[in-house]
Amino acid sequence: MPRPHCIRRISHAEASVLVPAGRPACEYETVRLTLDQAEALRLADLEGLYQEAAARKMGISRQTFGRILDEAHKIVADAILNKKALRVEGGAYSLKEEPIMHTKVAVPTRNGIVDAHFGHCEYFTVFEIADG
């Protein structure tokens, strides 16, 4: 019995079907590209990330990322060169939520006015900045 696939983190989870122009979709043979394979293509080919960085984003090893990317390239090439419909769906993935950036800044103050001496001020006023 093979090992179960580890869950891969992806940013976009939109299923779709891409077909060559000219005939109805039902007349084409269909190949399946999983959403984690599509994410690997996006990270490597569109964003231009190295495999190590892309693997970290997906929460997998670099070797696993390379294997997923190779499979994805073969599937897409088969669909394009042999005029097959490409169905993008499924796979072992979890949707990665984008982190919200929060920054806290401490400003030295004295009597409600910004103090030039950080180490000798009476108070610190803390500001929180969300999303940049």
- Mean of the pLDDT values across residues 101-110? 78
- The per-residue pLDDT for 76 is 94
* Number of Cβ atoms within 10 Å of the Cβ of 87: 18
Q: What secondary structure does DSSP assign to 68-112, as a single string?
A: HHHHHHHHHHHHHHTT-EEEE---SEEEPPPPPPEEEEEEEEETT
- Looking at the chain, the domain(s) classified CATH 1.10.10 span 8-95
Q: How confident is the model at residue 102 (pLDDT cuts 50, 70, 90)?
A: low
**Cβ contact 116:36 at 8 Å:** no
Instruction: Burial-class residue 58 by CB neighbours within 10 Å (0-12, 13-18, 19+).
Output: buried
CATH code for the domain defined by 8-95: 1.10.10
User: How many angstroms separate the CA atoms of 10 and 95, rounded?
Assistant: 5
Q: What is the pTM of this model?
A: 0.66
For 59-90, the pLDDT digits (tens) are 899 999 999 999 999 999 999 999 999 988 87
3-class state of residue 25 by DSSP: helix
Tokens of 87: 């169905």
